[in-house]
Amino acid sequence: MTPARPSFSVLLLLLLRLAAAPVRAAEPIIIGEIDSRTGQFAAQGSAIHQGVTLAVEEANGRGGIAGRPLALLSRDDEGKPQRAVAAAEELTGRHGAVALVGGYVDSLVGPVAEVADRARAPYVAAASLDERLTARGNRYFFRVSNLRAYVDVTTGVVREVFKARHVAILYSHTPGASQLARRQKEVFERAGIHVAVFEPFAPGLSDFTPLLARVRDQGAEVLLSDTFFADHLLLVRQMAQSGLRVDAFLGAFGLEFPSVVLELGPASEGLYGTTSWQPDVNWAGREQESRLFVAAYTRRFGRAPVPLTMHGYAAARAVIRALETLGGGAITGDHLREALARVDLETPLGRVKFDDHGDPVAYERVVVQIQNGRHVVVYPPNHATASPKYPAR
């Protein structure tokens, strides 16, 4: 035997091996996204969709997950629970999506979370607030925002900055708004602040001046408007028209947008809103990443991002990070779920990490005020970029 030359049989074996093994194309990892792209919440759903798309594209630009590209399958839920569930079933069942992201309306997020639980595909919601959804032991449901941040920051500013003794709370009928109002009331009453008016707000052609008059009669210094963008417009305008003023008007949802200044003009001066992230509003060492995000988004979509975009981006980033930690190999629902539970990630939205119930551990919001036509952060003090003008006028 001549030991230097590889034997013919070994070569033959190698050749057979190569011929038998098929050339494996990198099979894509499918992520499902369900958002409202049409209907009442089309603007919000599209914003989340764009954030998710950006995150997925960035990950693919980095080479995907262990050489496998990410495929994003997006579905429109049209604002209807039945369609959302159909989309969730289709994505997880028919297409084998390993995870789901998206979601703005809690009445859709809830049913989708149920499907995710039964299909064993983790679901990271971009903007869910309903407390009941994380209280039911659904191990496959995660979200990057929660109600507590809203409660903390709105009650905190009233107690510590405004130091008001009497407040009025108006709230919309949605789960998020009505739960926020209830929690605010609890906190205020524990702190000895009198909640003079506590009412649901359903807009219509009829005048709210009697309602606003009641707010004034009861001596409320601060009006917490737990309603949405259009309702704020109506209320602020009616307040201006009826001459009924409060020392502070705080809208937890929707007053952080630049379009408030556009729509209301000078009447927007002094209004308070809350935000978690905005292109011109940064805090605590996230400026660099934030600017990169804004630049990347503007390059990709041709305009400035809105807060919901960041929520979608953060949710998708969490899923991608969890997939990365799994490495190569088969992805099972259980493993991905465990990986998500261990995720600890820095994004412009802040630190993304989930607790045992799927709620975010470090989701924070700040209070902004419109001063001279621009939004500035006024609370909490460690993030503030300007001091609040209180009373507003």
Partner 1 sequence: MSLTTLLQALVSGALVGCLYALIAAGFSLVLSVSRGLNLAHGELVVLGGYAGYAAWLLLGVHPLLLLPLAALATLPLGLVWDRLTARLAPPVELWSCVLTFGLSLLLQSAMTGFWSGEYRLLASPALGHGVALGGVALSHARLAAALVALAAVGALALGLRRARWGRAIRATSLDRDAASLLGIDVERATRLAFVLAFGLAGGAGLLFATIHYLYPAAGSELTLLAITLAIWAGIGRMRALLFGGVALGVVEALTVAVAGTGWREPALALLLLASLLARGGALAREFGRRS
Partner 2 sequence: MKLAAVLLVLAVLPLLGPPAYYLYLFSTAYQFATLATAWSLLAYGGQVSFGQAAFFGLGAYGAALASLHGASLWLTISLGAALAGAGGAAVGLAAGRLNGAALALATLATAELLRGVALNWTALTGGGSGLVGIPSIPSLPGIPLELGGRRVGAYHLSLATLAAALTISAVVLRSRAGLALAALREGETRGALLGLRPVPWKVLAFALSGVATGLAGAVYAHTLGAVEPDVVFGRVFSIAPLVMATLGGRSLLGPAAAAVALYLVSELVFHPLAPALHQLPYALALIAVTLIRPAWRRIP
Interacting residues with partner 2 (CB under 8 A)? 37-38, 76, 78, 80-83, 85-86, 89-90, 93-94, 106-107, 110-111, 114, 118-119, 130, 132-133, 136, 172-175, 177-179, 200, 202
Which partner, partner 2, partner 1, none, binds residue 261 by CB below 5 to 8 Å per kind? none
Which partner, partner 1, partner 2, none, binds residue 130 by CB below 5 to 8 Å per kind? partner 2
Q: Give the C-alpha distances (Å, rounded to integers) separating 170 from 14, 111, 145, 188.
A: 76, 28, 22, 14
Which partner, partner 1, partner 2, none, binds residue 357 by CB below 5 to 8 Å per kind? none
AA identity, residue 306: V
Closer residue to partner 1, CB minimum distance, 208 or 272? 208
**At its nearest, how many Å lie between partner 2 and the CB of residue 336?**
19
* Among 53, 30, 138, residue whose Cα is nearest residue 315: 53
Q: Give the C-alpha distances (Å, rounded to integers) separating 370 from 84, 223, 226.
A: 37, 16, 18
Handedness of CA 297, 303, 307, 312 (dihedral sign): negative
Distance from the first to the final alpha carbon of the chain:
101
Alpha helical stretches, state H, the chain: 8-20, 42-61, 81-89, 106-119, 147-156, 175-190, 209-217, 229-242, 259-264, 287-301, 307-326, 333-342
**At its nearest, how many Å lie between partner 2 and the CB of residue 323?**
23
Closer residue to partner 1, CB minimum distance, 40 or 298? 40
**At its nearest, how many Å lie between partner 1 and the CB of residue 80?**
13
Contact by Cβ (8 Å): 116, 122:
yes
**At its nearest, how many Å lie between partner 1 and the CB of residue 247?**
19
Which partner, partner 2, partner 1, none, binds residue 43 by CB below 5 to 8 Å per kind? partner 1
Which partner, partner 2, partner 1, none, binds residue 211 by CB below 5 to 8 Å per kind? partner 1
Binding site for partner 1 (CB under 8 A): 38-43, 173, 199-211, 213-214, 217, 229-230, 233-234, 237-238, 240-244, 263-265, 267
**Three-class HEC string of 284-315:** CCCHHHHHHHHHHHHHHHCCCCCHHHHHHHHH
Would you give the DSSP letter of residue 319?
H
Which partner, partner 2, partner 1, none, binds residue 338 by CB below 5 to 8 Å per kind? none
Which partner, partner 1, partner 2, none, binds residue 332 by CB below 5 to 8 Å per kind? none
* Token representation of residue 327: 């490495």
Closer residue to partner 2, CB minimum distance, 85 or 362? 85
Give dist(CA 70, CA 63) in Å, integer.
9
Closer residue to partner 2, CB minimum distance, 76 or 221? 76
Would you give the DSSP letter of residue 27?
P
Closer residue to partner 1, CB minimum distance, 224 or 264? 264
